């Protein structure tokens, strides 16, 4: 049995020891006497659940800063998609390792991903020691030949998803309603239900998407369109959901659909609205927080995201009491754990040991009136001293083993991809 003892950490306002046996929190109490345990001194630290990133495209770290300050559709069509077309599984692996490194350094131990070459992301998350819900991206553009290929790829995933630890699970990632046909969406939802996997789709991100949907589908708005296809259910996570009306919110609530909210990406890409948080909360639609990919954020720091979500909700509703710090924290921890079915998100005996130690001796936590306020409004990922996932220490004293090699490989791969793209198009380097 592996025993890890976190000593002298603050927990619920008191100094405690936390004993971790294998992957779970075994005991929390004052001055625990344990023999044969590895000890980590947590003096000056508070022990907290590690954070969840509810929507990202991990390997897009390779394109961080490659093309910014553009309109969403132009950005995708002229910059992102041409470069992504050249990615190999190994490139995705290298980019996803960089993402895992950044997330571990920011106290994140779970990410919900949607991307190409799923095996590269799964391998990276497995090796880096974090949890991931890996969703191969699905795009058929209404083309029957591509739709057939999609089905083959999904069936191949279902057959070959073994060989990973329980930290790595799989979902289906239909990109959006404008890139995936209704027939494929229906097939994916049915296959997901039959196999107990989640489905993860971008939805109602821009007003253009909503208008195109209304025009193409007899006046149905995106949520109504998905309901008409029969794809709504508790296994579905919709990413963005910025442009919703009251009826759509009611439909999401009725079907138990969860919403992943990416406030920074929405603001950076100027999607023309703010998630209607107050109405979603009132309807009891679970809302969880994601960074989106590193091209549209450009950081994977969930501390930043909590703050942005709180500020955007207040600004959007003209109500400073909307989305208080405690709710932002829950969205990135407890609530996300419930949505993704991970027995973590809280520092409690019996829970999975997915934990962080946050250094409260820093200026961000001084004078220290209110921990939740400091975490959400003042802190950032650099305040995390130690990150633990599944009982394993992934970072201690801000050191992650193998960091330099991960950074070098990412730099090499990213610059090679950009050079290939420039050579193919006869153009210069990054914009
Ligand atoms: Zn996204």
Tens digit of each residue's pLDDT (9 = 90 or more) over 78-112: 888 888 889 999 999 999 999 999 999 999 999 99
pLDDT band at 67 (very low <50, low <70, confident <90, very high): confident
pLDDT at 389 over 60: yes
Ligand 1 centroid to residue 239 C-alpha, Å = 7
pLDDT at 429 over 70: no
pTM of the full predicted structure? 0.96
Ligand 1 centroid to residue 192 C-alpha, Å = 20
Ligand 1 centroid to residue 227 C-alpha, Å = 21
pLDDT in tens, 120-150: 999 999 999 999 999 999 999 999 999 999 9
pLDDT at 430 over 70: no
Ligand 1 centroid to residue 269 C-alpha, Å = 11
Which domains, and CATH codes, for the chain? 1-43 (no CATH), 51-340 (3.20.20.140)
Cα gap 290→99, rounded to integer Å: 13
Which residue shows structure tokens 């100027």? 270
Ligand 1 centroid to residue 294 C-alpha, Å = 10
Ligand 1 centroid to residue 295 C-alpha, Å = 10
Contact call for residues 397 and 104 (beta carbons, < 8 A):
no
Query: Taking every pair of C-alpha atoms in the chain, what is the biggest distance, in angstroms?
Result: 69
Q: What pLDDT sits at residue 74? A: 86
Ligand 1 centroid to residue 55 C-alpha, Å = 6
Ligand 1 centroid to residue 293 C-alpha, Å = 6
Ligand 1 centroid to residue 107 C-alpha, Å = 21
Contact call for residues 277 and 317 (beta carbons, < 8 A):
yes
Q: What pLDDT sits at residue 137? A: 94
Helices 89-105 & 118-128, crossing angle to 10 degrees? 40
Section 213-218 average pLDDT: 97
Q: What pLDDT sits at residue 15? A: 98
With CA atoms as reference, report the closest residue to 117 among 131, 101, 96, 103. Answer: 96
Q: Is 36 left (phi over 0), alpha (psi -120 to 50) or beta?
A: left
pLDDT at 387 over 90: yes
pLDDT at 322 over 60: yes
Cα gap 121→113, rounded to integer Å: 8
Ligand 1 centroid to residue 289 C-alpha, Å = 12
**Token output for 178:** 């404008």
pLDDT in tens, 259-309: 999 999 999 988 899 999 999 999 999 999 999 999 889 999 999 999 999
Section 171-196 average pLDDT: 97
423: Cβ–Cβ under 8 A, 6 or more apart, which residues? none
Cα gap 375→382, rounded to integer Å: 11
Helix, strand, or coil (residue 278): helix
Cα gap 111→398, rounded to integer Å: 20
Q: What pLDDT sits at residue 353? A: 98
Ligand 1 centroid to residue 56 C-alpha, Å = 6
Contact call for residues 414 and 63 (beta carbons, < 8 A):
yes
Q: What pLDDT sits at residue 421? A: 80
**343 beta partners:** none
Q: What pLDDT sits at residue 134? A: 97
pLDDT band at 420 (very low <50, low <70, confident <90, very high): confident
Q: What pLDDT sits at residue 302? A: 98
Ligand 1 centroid to residue 259 C-alpha, Å = 12
């Amino acid at each position: 049995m592996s025993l890890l003892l976190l000593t002298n950490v603050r927990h619920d306002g008191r100094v405690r020891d936390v004993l971790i046996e294998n992957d779970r929190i075994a005991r929390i109490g004052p001055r625990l006497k344990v023999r044969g345990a590895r000890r980590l001194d947590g003096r000056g630290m508070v022990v907290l659940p590690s954070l969840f990133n509810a929507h990202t495209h991990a390997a897009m770290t390779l394109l961080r800063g490659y093309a910014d300050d553009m309109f969403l559709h132009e950005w995708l069509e002229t910059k992102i998609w041409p470069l992504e077309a050249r990615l190999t599984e190994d490139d995705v692996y290298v980019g996803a390792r960089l993402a895992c490194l950044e997330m571990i350094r920011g106290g994140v131990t779970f990410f919900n991903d949607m991307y190409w070459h799923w095996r590269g992301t799964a391998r990276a998350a497995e090796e880096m020691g974090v949890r991931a819900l890996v969703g191969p991206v699905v795009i058929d553009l209404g083309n029957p030949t591509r739709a057939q290929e999609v089905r083959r790829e999904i069936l191949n995933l279902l057959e070959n998803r073994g060989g990973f630890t329980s930290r790595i699970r799989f979902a289906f990632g239909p990109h959006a309603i404008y890139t995936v046909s209704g027939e494929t969406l229906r097939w994916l939802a049915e296959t997901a239900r039959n196999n107990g996997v989640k489905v993860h789709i971008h939805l109602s991100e821009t007003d253009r998407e909503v208008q195109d949907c209304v025009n193409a589908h007899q006046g149905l708005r995106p949520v109504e369109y998905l309901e008409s296809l029969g794809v709504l259910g508790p296994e579905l996570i919709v990413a963005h959901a910025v442009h919703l009306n009251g009826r759509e919110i009611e439909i999401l609530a009725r079907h138990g659909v969860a919403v992943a909210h990416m406030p920074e990406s929405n603001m950076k890409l100027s999607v023309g609205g703010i998630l209607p948080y107050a109405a979603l909360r009132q309807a009891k639609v679970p809302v969880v927080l994601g960074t989106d990919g590193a091209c549209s954020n450009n950081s994977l720091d969930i501390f930043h995201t909590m703050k942005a979500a709180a500020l955007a909700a207040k600004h959007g509703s003209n109500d400073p009491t909307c989305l208080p710090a405690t709710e932002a924290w829950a969205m990135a921890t407890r609530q996300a754990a419930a949505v993704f079915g991970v027995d973590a998100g809280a520092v409690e005996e019996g829970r999975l040991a997915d934990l962080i130690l946050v250094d409260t001796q820093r200026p961000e936590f001084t004078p220290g009136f209110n921990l939740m306020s400091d975490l959400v409004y003042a802190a950032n990922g650099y305040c995390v001293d130690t990150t633990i996932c599944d009982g394993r220490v992934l970072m201690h004293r801000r050191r992650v083993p193998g960091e330099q090699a991960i950074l070098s490989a990412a730099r090499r791969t990213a610059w090679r991809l950009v050079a290939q793209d420039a050579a193919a198009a006869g153009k210069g380097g990054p914009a």
